[in-house]
Amino acid sequence: MSLKRTYNDEELQVLANELTRANTHIYFARNLRLNYEQLGAPNDFWKYTLDAHSSIALLNLCRVYDTHNDGINLFNCLESIDKNALDQAKQTQLNTYIALCRPQSENHLVKSLRAWRNKIIAHYNIEAALNREGFDKKNPDEPEEILRNLIETGFKILEWCSSLHGKVTTYQKFAPGKASYKDVLECLQICKKLKHE
């Protein structure tokens, strides 16, 4: 059994890094998808590239919303906070965040994220594998909606936790070079021109 401890700035930064990576991967996937016609052949390569960005974004987000006792995750972070040191308003906010992140969360996006993690990402559940349509009906939230909303919520929770230590922390939302997908598109355009000359 793990001993309850307080999270420090370094551990909050680890969680922020996972959110940053997830946010950057989904940003790349979204922008490549919006410019899909410019990508050109081979289409199978780009489909796998887009799927890879989406998959790793979900994986990064799953780590943040995990509930394993020994993990660095939002739930353990929130559970480590001494409620007695908080005023009533902060206790209420803490309880709201804990309810969102707890193992039996009622939040539909958290539930969907965990269903994706448990039935597709970490384990390929036979029911999900053989009846993907059925899985999608039971989990109607789109992965991009899950990612967009829970990444934003995750950053909000981390910044709130940091404020409890008397700090005003704004975590970096994207990895450096997030516009590099434009360089890829530009290179592809140049290659197409050279090919046709």
Digit-coded pLDDT (tens) for 51-77: 999 999 999 999 999 999 999 999 999
Question: CA-to-CA distance for 41 and 45, rounded, in angstroms?
Answer: 8
Q: Rounded distance, CA 77 to CA 98, Å?
A: 9
Query: Is the overall model pTM greater than 0.85, yes or no?
Result: yes
Burial class (CB in 10 A: 0-12, 13-18, 19+), 191: exposed
116 contacts 136 by C-beta, under 8 angstroms: no
Per-residue pLDDT reduced to its tens digit, 12-53:
999 999 999 999 999 999 988 888 888 777 778 888 999 999
pLDDT at 183 over 60: yes
